[in-house]
Structure 1
């Protein structure tokens, strides 16, 4: 019993010393070569609302996030997918106060002025019985596997409107 206890204590002490040595080496390394890498934040904005103000605000926040350095991606599902239609409903194309900007108009501006990728849900077009030709230029159909990977990536903020 004493032999087992002595062996366990020796292993514990050795592990502690190795851990302290590794920690000391890591702290010395960080002093010699500081790592100032900051990862680019990733934001996935999932828009489903049919409300024009909610859609517009989602685009306002997408633009703000992109301008502040985030890697932004917009997923339009359900009624919000209508924002991406060439023949969009008036709710997506009518200007809203205070700047008379429409949800679709600001979405187009976001796409033009940032690297934001805008996509409709994979089931949106089949659900409407149409194909990708009805979408405005630059909007594509989302790959569920890609979106799923983004959602489980710990660096991605998922925001829903």
Structure 2
């Protein structure tokens, strides 16, 4: 394993199973001591909304929202893309606790760091 592995997970899909698998892999990466960061964009940003947990997924009967909450609870940086709120009916008050709004220059800097593995769902 890389000495300081970093995983950048970007979710753009609203599909429950796609969001769920993204959150499963992000949690597994965190459990294996990787630095994990999550960016939720477009329809995928629905997962960032307070009260939007998605449907239960087998075999563990957990929702994508519950998996995201675990990441947030573990200190993972989770943001919606910068253009999500200005182009929807939602405001920062509608986001679940622990979700921020991405700053494009900072996100680009993170993406360009050596060793960051970038996964899109």
Normalised TM-score (structure 2):
0.92
Q: Residue 68 of structure 2 is aligned with which of 107, 116, 123?
A: 107
Structure 2 gap segments, 5+ residues each: none
Q: Residue 110 of structure 2 is aligned with which of 147, 150, 153?
A: 150
Residue 73 (1) aligns with residue 55 (2): no
User: Number of aligned pairs?
Assistant: 120
Task: Show structure 1 runs of 4+ deviating over 6 A.
Answer: none
Secondary structure of the corresponding residue to residue 148 of structure 1: helix
Larger relative CO (CA 8 A, sep 6+): 1 or 2? 2
Normalised TM-score (structure 1):
0.70
Q: Is the 8 A contact 1:72 1:115 kept in 2?
A: no
Could you say which residue in structure 1 is the equivalent of 2:24?
60
RMSD, matched Cα: 1.3
Structure 1 or 2: larger strand share?
A: 2
Could you say which residue in structure 2 is the equivalent of 1:160?
120
Secondary structure of the corresponding residue to residue 8 of structure 2: strand
Structure of larger gyration radius? 1
Give matches, 1:1-161, under 5 Å: 39-88=3-52, 92-112=53-73, 114-161=74-121
Q: Residues 90-137 of structure 1: CA distance to partner in whole angstroms, max 9, x if unpaired?
A: xx422111111111111112211x231111000111111332000010
